[in-house]
Chains A and B, each alone.
Chain A
Amino acid sequence: MILMPTVFDIQRFCVNDGPGIRTTVYLKGCPLTCPWCHNPESNSPLPQLAFIAENCVGCGRCAEVCEQGVHDFSSGAHVVDFSRCVTCGRCVRACPHDALKLYGREMSVEAIVDVIARDEAYYAASGGGVTISGGEAMSRYADTLAIARAVKERGWHLALETSGFGPTAHFVEIARFVDLFLLDYKVTGECRYKSVVGMPESMVLEKIEALGAAGSQIVLRCPIIPGFSDDIEHFKRIADLSRRPGIDHVELLPYHDFGIGKAKSIGSHQYLKDVAVPTANATAMWIAKIESFGGRDIRKS
């Protein structure tokens, strides 16, 4: 069977997901529950409809072409029933105002590699390469492995952005193709990790251990979310982890609210309310604090 990974974006000229100039492949599908999710449109493993309400003028063309009854204007407003949608894309093509779009499309590994190859010369000159991201790429293991293998066959530098979700054996196996792991560490404490993120903390720690032992290079990436991960306990833990074998450096990713609009557009309620975006000063202070606990090479992403 030909693998057809579901991709929700391939972004070129990424300069923050690993060294140099990179192309990042975003795979759809994530089993985690982080309430601040920056890419909520990546959670479902399937293509899905998005509705950008502010672009809608209520012309009703979507309802005319939809055979599933997704679009309803009977109340005077445009109400979208996402549960009925079969992602045929007719309404998207009919909408003249870009109020509807589809997140996710199936692409062959070959097609993905073709897009990546277009910037090949830029990777070589900048020390860049390819990053596989998500969603949670390791929850789509077969797809991720196939892409990783194909990328490595072309000799490109490969980074894998992951939460550490999944069996350790998968990580050990894929590490043969991965030059750099961008590994998330989100909150502190086994219970807390489970209740907030939806996976055990130990699952991440195992990966640090195993990849460190295998000689892999890791950048530990820590989203700092006010109220979730800006506490002293967590900072101490980051400081501790920063000194583990295999950890090249730590990057702090301050909370941003770009995910809210995207969550709303897919009918999701999974986003933070009333959390302010931290200032640049706050990030500098977090770095200072973590360093004061013995943190080594802590950077802003």
Chain B
Amino acid sequence: MKNDKSVAEIVEVNKKVPCEKPVHQQIDIMEAYTDTHRANASSSTARREMECLKVLYPVTFRHVEDEDLVVGRTDVLPVGFGCVTSVGGVGHYCSFAKLNALRSQTDDPNDLRRIDNIEAYWDKNDTRSIFYEQVLTPDTFGKFVDGKYGAVVTARLSGTMLDYESLVSLGIPGLRDKIERCRVASPGNNEFFDIMGECLDLLAKTIRCHIGLCEAAKQGKSQCRVAELDRIEDALSGILVHKPETLMEGIELCWLYTLMAGVVNYGRADVYLGELLAHDLDAGVLSESDALAIIKSWFKLIDARHSNVNGRIIVGGLGRKAPEASDRFVRIAIEAVRQNRTVEPQFTLRCYRGMDESIYQQALDCIGSGCTYPMLLNDEVVVPQVMSALNVDERTAEDYVPFGCGELVINHASVGTPNALINVLKLLNVSLNKGIDNYDGVDRSNGVRLKAPEELKSFDDVFEQYERLLEKYFSDCARIHWYSYELMRTQCDFLMTSLLTNDCLERGRSILKGGVRYLGGTDETYGNINASDSLAAIKKVVFDEGRYTLREVVDATNANFEGYEALRHDLLAAPKYGNDDDYADDIAVCLHEFICRTVRKTGEEVGFHNYGTVLINNQVNTEWGRKTGASPDGRLCGMFMNNGNNPQSGADHNGPTAMLNSLVKLDVNDHAGSVQNIKFTHDMFVSKMPVLRALIKTYFENGGCQLMVSVVDPGELEDAIAHPELHQNLLVRVGGFSARFVALEKDVQQEILARTLNG
């Protein structure tokens, strides 16, 4: 079988807490899940999924912790149902590495035999394994993320955001009414609507279960704690019978639903909770400090879920129906983030002309405290970008949300999961070597006829050959990506996601079966800037100056520059992107535009409503770099690649204005998201705040779409590597996610350390 189980299945920076259930009980649940899946082999996929969900919920929820003011914690087992690999897995999944790890926790032969049986079943039925079996090739398309390939693919449903606005405004009773109204409009589709109703039954059961968990948590606790739990129970009881009327009710309903849906991004929280909060504050239900405590508790539950590169909460921005009430939520939420200082939620502030100045300043002060949040998005640029890249009108674009590392989708109305990833730097090496990967000598030409370096007579020849190879890969990736949807359709319906995604109920179809309004996708590209810097270096030393032949440059990279130190020096000295140097930046723009245009074109040809490049790397720029040979930008074999569309770490030395000027040269209108990291010293950020404000303002006015800021002290990262125990809470922005620096792998730490520190 093609699913190589030795390849790590997820990007997992923060390990989850151990399951609270004993091993044999975990096996019981997984066995029951497996049996249910098997028994429903001839049922519809929707029926099978519903029956499987009933096995999981509410039994996999955990007990209430003493500090919880909001409840809802789950254990995610190695077998179950989910949307993404970072929490559980995709569709009906088996996380083989985690299942295997259970073996070491039991010596009961019966348990071990049961695990064997479970694994054997899922070898043939795990959604991704089935997908891999169909699409992986020996040399060209690998498993996500097997770094030796030029492209890797996966099946997943990342980044859907639920329609929390409807969930809150309708509540369970209102949603039941909606289901019945839609049933009438879609005759002959009874099973789908029956099952949608059963989703709500299961949600109600889970809510009732939590009333019990709260009761259990009262045992031996102080009156004060009992009163807190009473308040939660009241909220839980309330949402069983009416739509949420308080902040607490709103959060609980949304949160428990989210956990059951397996969704890992949490939408525009100020939009769906702002009015409830305003009501509570105005009616005296909550004081500001009560509200702060509740939101902090909710955010801690989000953090405890450890979705790693997800966990987005978005606030602010255009298109909010009650901006004043929403802003009241934003202020308290920023303070919650500042006080919690946790890795999640990935708290994101959409900025726009005319926004509340005090919120903007509060956001900058929060960033200055070193918690990396909020990330700042510039609506003035992103809304037009979304209109263009996602093919939607302005009103629709105003409801954009970034998920995961920063891919842009329309709030609960589009799919934009990145199921294909391409290492464009590796493919440049392949292109320069007549199809051979200089990392391992494997032919990765993917059927494209390529000329040897001697036959490439001009820079245009080099570029054109590279374009042909890229286009073939992009086109294949789009096709495989489309197939990932077809395959997932044959396995499951993502029922709970579908129930809260436009227009599934109206059409009587689940999300991937014609339900979602905009079926799009994204293709993550890696090493873009290393590739353009490599091209710039080749242009400079080979074609402009004639100091070396292309063959010499290629030979040098293939030898990892051993014996070619002078040549490497000249390549490193060639202009690099990130310095506002038009020589390097023009080539970066040229390559960027080719990539974005071609990815979009090949995707839309396959049938996606929208298909865009995303330049959003998490830490895969480092992981993939490990298996990418030396490149003509002077980068050594195995070294990290650049992150997102940022310069190669440390290659920018003209200060932040020059770096930001380079960034804004890359047009945003043909891609679906990019991330910009910048690092400042604490001293600079705090003592020069007016300057920093002006810097960000100008960058945004110049066309900057987004900014993620890490604030550290000089020497702090170095010290954290030497003495991790002293820096447990040091937070940094990696790619499109934040992390505790000490939890990162060594070479990822080195990549972040190498980034220019402005101060």
CB-based contact A125/B701 at 8 Å: yes
Query: What residues of B have a CB within 8 angstroms of the CB of A96 in the complex?
Result: 565-566, 568-569
Q: Which of A122-149 contact B (CB under 8 A)?
A: 122, 124-128
Contacts A61-B566, A96-B566, A118-B580; A126 near B694 (Cβ below 8 A): yes
Query: What residues of B have a CB within 8 angstroms of the CB of A127 in the complex?
Result: 694
Interface size on A, residues (CB 8 A): 21
The chain B residue sitting closest to A118, CB to CB, is B580
Contacts A15-B688, A126-B698; A119 near B566 (Cβ below 8 A): no
Q: Judge whether A12 is part of the interface by a CB distance below 8 angstroms.
A: yes
CB-based contact B657/A20 at 8 Å: no
Hey, what's the 0/1 contact readout for A7-37 against B, CB within 8 Å counting as 1?
0000111010000110000000000000000
Query: What residues of A have a CB within 8 angstroms of the CB of B82 in the complex?
Result: none
Residue from B566, B701, B702, B758 with most neighbouring chain A CB atoms (10 Å): B566
Q: Judge whether B560 is part of the interface by a CB distance below 8 angstroms.
A: no
CB-based contact A126/B701 at 8 Å: no
Q: Judge whether A203 is part of the interface by a CB distance below 8 angstroms.
A: no
Q: Judge whether B654 is part of the interface by a CB distance below 8 angstroms.
A: yes
Measured between C-beta atoms, what is the minimum distance from B701 to chain A in Å? 7
Query: What residues of A have a CB within 8 angstroms of the CB of B684 in the complex?
Result: 15
Residue from B566, B654, B691, B695 with most neighbouring chain A CB atoms (10 Å): B691
Q: Judge whether A192 is part of the interface by a CB distance below 8 angstroms.
A: no
Contacts A94-B566, A96-B569, A118-B661; A15 near B691 (Cβ below 8 A): yes
Q: Judge whether B697 is part of the interface by a CB distance below 8 angstroms.
A: yes
Measured between C-beta atoms, what is the minimum distance from B529 to chain A in Å? 20
The chain A residue sitting closest to B658, CB to CB, is A12
Q: Judge whether B655 is part of the interface by a CB distance below 8 angstroms.
A: yes
Q: Judge whether B220 is part of the interface by a CB distance below 8 angstroms.
A: no
The chain A residue sitting closest to B565, CB to CB, is A96
Q: Judge whether B690 is part of the interface by a CB distance below 8 angstroms.
A: yes
Query: What residues of A have a CB within 8 angstroms of the CB of B632 in the complex?
Result: none
Hey, what's the 0/1 contact readout for A70-96 against B, CB within 8 Å counting as 1?
000000000000000000000000111
Query: What residues of A have a CB within 8 angstroms of the CB of B566 in the complex?
Result: 61, 94, 96
Q: Which of B552-571 contact A (CB under 8 A)?
A: 565-566, 568-569
Q: Judge whether A97 is part of the interface by a CB distance below 8 angstroms.
A: yes
Hey, what's the 0/1 contact readout for A147-179 against B, CB within 8 Å counting as 1?
000000000000000000000000000000000
Query: What residues of B have a CB within 8 angstroms of the CB of A118 in the complex?
Result: 580, 657-658, 661
Q: How far is the CA of A121 from the CA of B664 in the complex (A)?
A: 13
CB-based contact B701/A13 at 8 Å: no
Q: Judge whether B656 is part of the interface by a CB distance below 8 angstroms.
A: yes
CB-based contact B565/A119 at 8 Å: no
Contacts A12-B658, A13-B657, A21-B657; A121 near B698 (Cβ below 8 A): yes
CB-based contact B655/A11 at 8 Å: yes
The answer, among A12, A61, A95, A98, for a CB contact under 8 Å with B657, is A12
Q: How far is the CA of A20 from the CA of B691 in the complex (A)?
A: 6
Interface of B is mostly: helix
The chain B residue sitting closest to A115, CB to CB, is B580
Measured between C-beta atoms, what is the minimum distance from A209 to chain B in Å? 33
Q: Which of B704-759 contact A (CB under 8 A)?
A: 758
Query: What residues of A have a CB within 8 angstroms of the CB of B701 in the complex?
Result: 121, 125
Query: What residues of A have a CB within 8 angstroms of the CB of B690 in the complex?
Result: 20, 126
Hey, what's the 0/1 contact readout for B393-406 against A, CB within 8 Å counting as 1?
00000000000000
Measured between C-beta atoms, what is the minimum distance from B329 to chain A in Å? 29
Measured between C-beta atoms, what is the minimum distance from A24 to chain B in Å? 11
Measured between C-beta atoms, what is the minimum distance from B544 to chain A in Å? 15
The chain A residue sitting closest to B694, CB to CB, is A126
Hey, what's the 0/1 contact readout for B632-668 against A, CB within 8 Å counting as 1?
0000000000000000000000111110010000000
Measured between C-beta atoms, what is the minimum distance from B574 to chain A in Å? 12
Query: What residues of B have a CB within 8 angstroms of the CB of A125 in the complex?
Result: 694-695, 697-698, 701
Query: What residues of B have a CB within 8 angstroms of the CB of A11 in the complex?
Result: 655
Query: What residues of B have a CB within 8 angstroms of the CB of A61 in the complex?
Result: 566
The chain B residue sitting closest to A126, CB to CB, is B694
Query: What residues of B have a CB within 8 angstroms of the CB of A119 in the complex?
Result: 657-658, 661
Q: How far is the CA of A213 from the CA of B746 in the complex (A)?
A: 61
Measured between C-beta atoms, what is the minimum distance from B504 to chain A in Å? 46
Contacts A15-B688, A61-B566, A94-B566; A122 near B694 (Cβ below 8 A): yes
CB-based contact B691/A126 at 8 Å: yes
Q: How far is the CA of A235 from the CA of B698 in the complex (A)?
A: 40
Contacts A96-B568, A121-B698; A21 near B658 (Cβ below 8 A): no
CB-based contact A126/B695 at 8 Å: yes
Query: What residues of A have a CB within 8 angstroms of the CB of B688 in the complex?
Result: 15
The answer, among B568, B569, B661, B695, for a CB contact under 8 Å with A21, is B695
CB-based contact A13/B694 at 8 Å: no
Q: How far is the CA of A121 from the CA of B655 in the complex (A)?
A: 15
Measured between C-beta atoms, what is the minimum distance from A150 to chain B in Å? 20
CB-based contact A21/B758 at 8 Å: no
Query: What residues of A have a CB within 8 angstroms of the CB of B656 in the complex?
Result: 13
Q: How far is the CA of A21 from the CA of B701 in the complex (A)?
A: 16
Q: How far is the CA of A121 from the CA of B758 in the complex (A)?
A: 19
CB-based contact B758/A13 at 8 Å: yes
Query: What residues of A have a CB within 8 angstroms of the CB of B695 in the complex?
Result: 13, 21, 122, 125-126
CB-based contact A21/B694 at 8 Å: yes
Q: Which of B566-602 contact A (CB under 8 A)?
A: 566, 568-569, 580
The chain A residue sitting closest to B655, CB to CB, is A13
CB-based contact B694/A20 at 8 Å: yes
CB-based contact A97/B569 at 8 Å: yes
Q: How far is the CA of A245 from the CA of B512 in the complex (A)?
A: 75
Measured between C-beta atoms, what is the minimum distance from B387 to chain A in Å? 25
Measured between C-beta atoms, what is the minimum distance from A29 to chain B in Å? 24
Measured between C-beta atoms, what is the minimum distance from B21 to chain A in Å? 55
CB-based contact B691/A121 at 8 Å: no
Hey, what's the 0/1 contact readout for B508-521 against A, CB within 8 Å counting as 1?
00000000000000
Q: How far is the CA of A218 from the CA of B430 in the complex (A)?
A: 60
Contacts A15-B688, A20-B691, A21-B694; A122 near B565 (Cβ below 8 A): no
Query: What residues of A have a CB within 8 angstroms of the CB of B697 in the complex?
Result: 125
Measured between C-beta atoms, what is the minimum distance from B564 to chain A in Å? 9
The chain A residue sitting closest to B579, CB to CB, is A12
Query: What residues of B have a CB within 8 angstroms of the CB of A128 in the complex?
Result: 691, 694
Q: How far is the CA of A166 from the CA of B698 in the complex (A)?
A: 38
Contacts A96-B565, A96-B566, A118-B661; A12 near B694 (Cβ below 8 A): no
Query: What residues of A have a CB within 8 angstroms of the CB of B655 in the complex?
Result: 11-13
Contacts A15-B688, A20-B694, A126-B690; A121 near B654 (Cβ below 8 A): no
Query: What residues of A have a CB within 8 angstroms of the CB of B569 in the complex?
Result: 95-98
CB-based contact A122/B658 at 8 Å: no
Query: What residues of A have a CB within 8 angstroms of the CB of B657 in the complex?
Result: 12-13, 21, 118-119, 122
Q: Which of A53-82 contact B (CB under 8 A)?
A: 61
Measured between C-beta atoms, what is the minimum distance from B302 to chain A in Å? 35
Q: How far is the CA of A151 from the CA of B694 in the complex (A)?
A: 21
Q: How far is the CA of A43 from the CA of B654 in the complex (A)?
A: 23
Measured between C-beta atoms, what is the minimum distance from B277 to chain A in Å? 34
Measured between C-beta atoms, what is the minimum distance from B711 to chain A in Å? 16
Measured between C-beta atoms, what is the minimum distance from A230 to chain B in Å? 24
Q: How far is the CA of A118 from the CA of B694 in the complex (A)?
A: 15
Query: What residues of B have a CB within 8 angstroms of the CB of A124 in the complex?
Result: 698
The chain A residue sitting closest to B582, CB to CB, is A118
List the 4 closest A-B pairs by CB distance, nearest first. Answer: A126-B694, A13-B655, A96-B569, A125-B694
**A binding-site residues for B, Cβ under 8 Å:** 11-13, 15, 20-21, 61, 94-98, 118-119, 121-122, 124-128
A sample of 23 cross-chain residue pairs with beta-carbon separation below 8 angstroms, ordered by A number, consists of A11-B655, A12-B657, A13-B655, A13-B657, A13-B658, A13-B695, A15-B684, A15-B688, A15-B691, A20-B691, A20-B694, A95-B569, A96-B565, A121-B701, A125-B695, A125-B697, A125-B698, A125-B701, A126-B690, A126-B694, A126-B695, A126-B698, A128-B694
16 additional A-B pairs beyond A118-B580, A126-B694, beta carbons within 8 Å, are: A13-B656, A20-B690, A20-B691, A21-B657, A96-B568, A96-B569, A97-B569, A118-B661, A119-B657, A121-B702, A122-B694, A124-B698, A125-B694, A125-B695, A125-B698, A126-B690
